[in-house]
Amino acid sequence: MPSTLPPPEEKSQFVQTMFGEIAERYDLANHLLSGGLDFLWRRRAARLIRAWQPARILDLATGSGDLAITLGRACPGALVVGADFCRPMLSVARRKGLEHLVTADGLQLPFPEASFDAVTIAFGLRNMASWPKALAEMRRILRPGGHVLILDFSVPLAPLRWVYRPYLHHVLPRVAALLTGKKAAYDYLGDSIEQFPQGPVMCVLLEDAGFSDPEHQPLSGGIVSLYTAKR
C-alpha cells in the first residue's frame, strides 16, 4: 500500500489544511476512536506537569485545546498559553473558553527565549515538518531547569501489535470517515505513527536537541508514549 505521507517540503501545508477540514469533528473522533482513553492520557500528563509547579505553560500544537484545559484544571495558579498554526482548530478551542491562544508555527515560535517553565505537546510533534527544529524551538523558549512533555502515539510490542496494526490501518480510517467525512486524514495518521521515532530513539532526539534526563513511559500497552526531559 502506498504511503499517504506528504513530501517534507509540503508537510506543513498538508497538515494545516487537513486539520482545518476536520476541526469541527476532531474531538468526537478522538474520544470515540480511542475508546475514551485520551482523557486518561491527558490527566496522566497533567499530573506530571503539576508536580513541576510551573508558573507559565505553553501547550504547543494545542489543537482544540483539550490538553490546555486539563492543564489549567491541574495547575490553577499557572498561566496556560495554547499555540497552533491551524486557525479552525483554535476557533474550537476558543469556543471551549480558552483565552490565551496564539496562532504560531512550532518551528518558529513568537516567544522570547526562556519564556516558559514547561512546554507540552500532545499528538503534535509527529505532524511537524522537522522534529529536531521543533525540539530546538521548545528548548529555546524554556527557562533553564524547565521541562518539556511530549505525548504521542507509538506502535506497541507484540502481541498487542498484531491487533493494533490492522485496527490502525484498516478499521480506524473507515470509522473516522463516517465521523468526519475525511478518511484520508486517518490514513495519514496510521502512516505517520509508523514513521514517528519512539522509545529510546525519541530520547536520543531530545538529547541531541540539548535536553537532559529524557524519560519514556509507555501508556495503554504502548499505543501511546509519554516523554519528559529538562532544559
pLDDT tens-digit readout, 11-21: 989 889 888 88
Whether omega for the bond prior to residue 159 falls within 30 degrees of 0, making it cis, is yes
The answer to whether residue 30 scores a pLDDT higher than 90 is no
Give residue-wise pLDDT tens across range 198-216.
999 999 999 999 999 999 9
| Opening angle at CA 83, ends 48 and 152, nearest 5 | 50
Confidence of residue 3 (pLDDT cuts 50, 70, 90): low
Mean pLDDT value across the chain: 93
pTM (two decimals): 0.94
Neighbours of 5 (CB within 10 A): 15
Q: What pLDDT shows up at residue 5?
A: 84
Full set of structural domains in the chain with CATH: 8-155+196-230 (3.40.50.150)
* Confidence check: pLDDT of 183 > 90: no
pLDDT above 90 (res 155): yes
Q: What is the DSSP string of the chain?
A: ----PPPGGGHHHHHHHHHHHHGGGHHHHHHHHTTTHHHHHHHHHHHHHHHH--SEEEEET-TTSHHHHHHHHH-TTSEEEEEES-HHHHHHHHHTT---EEE-BTTB-SS-TT-EEEEEEES-GGGSS-HHHHHHHHHHHEEEEEEEEEEEE-PPPTTHHHHHHHIIIIIHHHHHHHHHS-HHHHHHHHHHHHHS--THHHHHHHHHTT-EEEEEEEEGGGTEEEEEEE-
Write down the pLDDT at residue 78: 97
C-alpha 135/C-alpha 50 separation (Å) is 22
Q: Given CA atoms 119, 98, 129, 42 in this order, what sign does their dihedral have?
A: positive
Average pLDDT for 67-77: 96
Q: Report the pLDDT averaged over residues 80-102.
A: 96
